[in-house]
Amino acid sequence: MTDAHLNLIDGNWLPGDHLTENRNPSDLSDLIGHYAAATVEDVDRAARAAQAALPAWQARGPLARADLLDRIARRIDAEAESIGHMLAREEGKILSEAIAEVRRAAQIFRFYGGEALRIAGDAIASVRPGVDIEVTREPLGVVGLITPWNFPAAIPAWKVAPALAFGNAVLLKPADLVPGTAHLLARIIHEQGCPAGIFNLLMGPGSVVGRALVDHPLVSAISFTGSVATGRAIARGAAEGMKKLQLEMGGKNPMVVLDDADLEIAVAACLNGAFFSTGQRCTASSRLIVQAGIHDAFVTRLAEAMQALRVGPALDPSSQIGPVVSPAQLRGNLDYVALAAAEGCEVVGGSLADGPTEGFFQRPALFLKARNTMRVASEEIFGPCAAVIRVEDFDEALAVANDSDYGLSAGICTGSLRHARAFRHRVRAGMVMVNLPTAGVDFHVPFGGTRGSSHGSREQGRQAVEFYTTVKTSYSFGG
Ligand SMILES: NC(=O)C1=CN([C@@H]2O[C@H](COP(=O)(O)OP(=O)(O)OC[C@H]3O[C@@H](n4cnc5c(N)ncnc54)[C@H](OP(=O)(O)O)[C@@H]3O)[C@@H](O)[C@H]2O)C=CC1
Ligand SMILES: O=C(O)CCC(=O)C(=O)O
């Protein structure tokens, strides 16, 4: 097959055992390419190559790693339009968002290039005379990175960049729905001089390739983003192998709108947070918790703005909402729309939308008159759907916001400093937004949540060093 895109193992492009088709969810007649699925033996070959390459890589020191990450960042920036085109084509994110995501990936590599030079330790006085103590950070070794389909550039970047910055070797398994963007990033990382074996791309199904990463004895840590069910399965496997583990999973993120909110700001924040990127963000505002006094005006304005959103192909510059990523995800979304009506909600939108091409187009949906106990208000849908829950006051809003199995992002729209402050302190979430959408985070600060949303130490920002290094305590006696 002439257009086969291969796995990168020990610096060589290798074919795996079969090819999978990558198709455009905006236009099913558009075959993007064929991508090689790695085998369990490929994972083993990559893990051994990674382990063998580590000593030379670590001996090169932080400046070489910083320079490499900086070159990668510059190349990603230079190719942002074409990589963004691939991302929009395979994932369905509209082109402007896709290019912005690729630029964010470049910023992440640049940021961790700087962090490579800032790895710090501690010198601590010993309780014993004549003894010195140093606490230093060391790489983990070979790390397995398993990424989802909804951020095909940014999430691989925010795992790969700190892993390399802090001296590890990487086995990256991207989601099977979006191998194209990962393949372009892998080519850049390889061409910019990452040593053979230090960065390996292993495409293919999670049930085979992802699982083999988790099971491999040379892999010392796993960082995963995806569903709770897969996260739990990985946690069991990682515990068996005593691996360090970081899981970023779902959300059912509350956005509270109080009576004293600026209506324009609240509608804009909820429109963005709930529906942009087709709602396929773990930080999406999927529960809109609205105080009684502003409820009707807010719902009217938000429904108008939602219905005016143009749903269409990701590469059409007039589209504001791209397609759903896959038929399985679309079926799930439509089932939740039907469930919302069955649970007693008044449903606005949510039906299939016509497009100029055959794709997975769905109108965004509001589930009005929802209660927090309904399944549509408590289960992650991961589509362009938001439940609206009416509450009487701030205390009820906070209680509803906190009544969830998840705790990733939480927002409040209010003009009251007192309520904003109380919410920031009392909401149970890893990220809090005041008068901002719950989704759309900065690239240089920690990302993650509490309860069912996250497990292990934080991703992104300076805190990523916690996961990608281990601590060594050295005692020395000078006599
Ligand atoms: N928190 C988030 O950001 C995300 C949450 N989700 C949630 O998950 C739902 C389903 O999406 P889906 O893509 O199936 O998510 P998964 O959790 O199945 O996939 C995430 C990643 O894990 C891999 N994987 C799957 N099974 C295993 C396994 N047994 N061992 C190791 N790795 C594995 C996948 O590979 P492969 O692609 O080959 O299956 C993919 O790379 C969505 O509807 C949404 O609710 C989805 C994506 C992101
Ligand atoms: O909201 C964002 O910017 C990031 C969201 C995210 O990482 C996710 O949905 O997986």
**CA dihedral sign, ordered 98, 102, 108, 111:** negative
For ligand 1, whether the C-beta of 250 sits within 6 Å is yes
> How much distance in Å is there from the Cα of 302 to the middle of ligand 1?
31
Flag whether 394 is in a domain: yes
Counting ligands in written order, the one closest to the CA of 452 is: 1
Flag whether 439 is in a domain: no
200 and 257 inside one domain: no
Query: With 0-12 CB in 10 A as exposed, 13-18 as middle and 19+ as buried, what is 369?
Result: middle
Flag whether 371 is in a domain: yes
| Residue 293 reports pLDDT greater than 70 | yes
| Average pLDDT, integer, range 256-277 | 98
216 and 265 inside one domain: no
- The predicted-structure confidence for 146-165, as pLDDT tens digits, reads as follows 999 999 999 999 999 999 99
Taking residue 242's Cβ as centre, other Cβ atoms within 10 Å add up to 8
347 and 234 inside one domain: no
> How much distance in Å is there from the Cα of 235 to the middle of ligand 2?
21
Flag whether 440 is in a domain: no
CATH of the domain at 350: 3.40.309.10
200 and 321 inside one domain: no
> How much distance in Å is there from the Cα of 61 to the middle of ligand 1?
35
For ligand 1, whether the C-beta of 175 sits within 6 Å is yes
Mean pLDDT for the chain overall:
97
Instruction: Give the pLDDT score at 81.
Output: 98
Instruction: Give the pLDDT score at 169.
Output: 98
Question: Which residues, in sequence order, are bridge partners of residue 146?
Answer: 173, 224
| Residue 40 reports pLDDT greater than 80 | yes
Flag whether 467 is in a domain: yes
For ligand 1, whether the C-beta of 249 sits within 6 Å is yes
The encoded tokens of residue 371 equal 């209660």
For ligand 1, whether the C-beta of 209 sits within 6 Å is no
297 and 153 inside one domain: no
For ligand 1, whether the C-beta of 210 sits within 6 Å is yes
Question: Which residues, in sequence order, are bridge partners of residue 469?
Answer: 139
In contact, 143 and 160? CB cutoff 8 Å: no
| Average pLDDT, integer, range 109-135 | 96
Name which residue sits closest to atom 10 of ligand 2, judged by CA. 282
Taking residue 264's Cβ as centre, other Cβ atoms within 10 Å add up to 9
Dist CA 410 CA 422 (whole Å): 13
In contact, 132 and 161? CB cutoff 8 Å: no
| Residue 1 reports pLDDT greater than 90 | no
In contact, 142 and 51? CB cutoff 8 Å: yes
> How much distance in Å is there from the Cα of 148 to the middle of ligand 1?
5
Counting ligands in written order, the one closest to the CA of 159 is: 2
Dist CA 170 CA 219 (whole Å): 9
For ligand 1, whether the C-beta of 214 sits within 6 Å is yes
DSSP notation for 58-91: HHTHHHHHHHHHHHHHHHHHHTHHHHHHHHHHHH
Catalytic residue numbers, as ranges: 248
441: nearest Cα among 151, 164, 225 = 151
The angle that helices 61-78 and 80-91 make with each other, rounded to 10 degrees, is: 70
Residues with CB under 6 A from ligand 2: 150-151, 225, 281-283, 439-441
| Average pLDDT, integer, range 330-346 | 98
Instruction: Give the pLDDT score at 312.
Output: 98
| Residue 220 reports pLDDT greater than 60 | yes
337 and 454 inside one domain: no
Place of tokens 């529906």: 275
| Average pLDDT, integer, range 261-274 | 98
244 and 334 inside one domain: no
342 and 394 inside one domain: yes
pLDDT-derived band at 246 (thresholds 50, 70, 90) equals very high
Flag whether 243 is in a domain: yes
Domain ranges, residue 14: 4-249+445-477
**Which ranges of 5-147 does DSSP label H, i.e. alpha helix?**
40-59, 61-78, 80-91, 95-116
For a pocket test of ligand 1, which of 215, 230, 447 has the largest count of ligand atoms closer than 8 A to its C-beta?
230
> How much distance in Å is there from the Cα of 167 to the middle of ligand 1?
27
pLDDT-derived band at 478 (thresholds 50, 70, 90) equals confident
Question: Which residues, in sequence order, are bridge partners of residue 410?
Answer: 432
| Average pLDDT, integer, range 165-191 | 98
357 and 469 inside one domain: no
Counting ligands in written order, the one closest to the CA of 224 is: 1
198 and 283 inside one domain: no
| Residue 447 reports pLDDT greater than 80 | yes
pLDDT-derived band at 118 (thresholds 50, 70, 90) equals very high
In contact, 385 and 288? CB cutoff 8 Å: no
| Average pLDDT, integer, range 166-178 | 98
| Residue 303 reports pLDDT greater than 80 | yes
137: nearest Cα among 445, 466, 464, 456 = 466
Flag whether 269 is in a domain: yes
Please give the helix or strand (H or E) that residue 200 lies within, else none: strand 199-201
> How much distance in Å is there from the Cα of 396 to the middle of ligand 1?
34
Flag whether 174 is in a domain: yes
ipTM for this prediction: 0.97
Domain count of the chain?
2
232 and 257 inside one domain: no
Dist CA 128 CA 119 (whole Å): 27
In contact, 456 and 467? CB cutoff 8 Å: yes
180: nearest Cα among 47, 51, 31, 314 = 31
- Return the HEC string of 353-416: CCCCCCCCCECCEEEEEECCCCHHHHCCCCCCEEEEEEECCHHHHHHHHHCCCEECEEEEECCC
CATH of the domain at 188: 3.40.605.10
| Residue 308 reports pLDDT greater than 70 | yes
For a pocket test of ligand 2, which of 102, 151, 276, 406 has the largest count of ligand atoms closer than 8 A to its C-beta?
151
| Average pLDDT, integer, range 231-254 | 97
For ligand 1, whether the C-beta of 149 sits within 6 Å is yes
359 and 415 inside one domain: yes
